[in-house]
Amino acid sequence: MAFRFTAKFITGIVAVVFIIVGGYLFGLVIKSVISSINRGEFEWGLALLVIGIIALVVIIPKPRLNGRKKDQ
C-alpha cells in the first residue's frame, strides 16, 4: 500500500515538473515567434511551431478507453 502511494506521489511530482518545464519552453517558442514578426520571418516561425505541435500530437500516445472490463 505504501509503495502505491509513493509511486503515485513521485509520478505526480514528475508530471508537475514536466508541465512547468514544458510551459516555460512553450513560452520561449511563442516569445521568439512573436519577436520574429518584426524580422519578416514570422511565416517560417509559425510553420515550425505548427509542425512541432503536430509532431508532438502524433508522437505522444493517446490513452485507450476500452469499454470492456477486465473480468469479462
Q: How far apart are CA 6 and CA 4, in angstroms?
A: 5
For the stretch 29-66, pLDDT in tens is 777 777 766 665 666 667 777 777 777 777 766 665 55
**DSSP strands (E only) in 1-72:** none
pLDDT at residue 64 in the model: 59
Q: How far apart are CA 71 and CA 19, in angstroms?
A: 35
Domain range annotation of the chain: 1-37
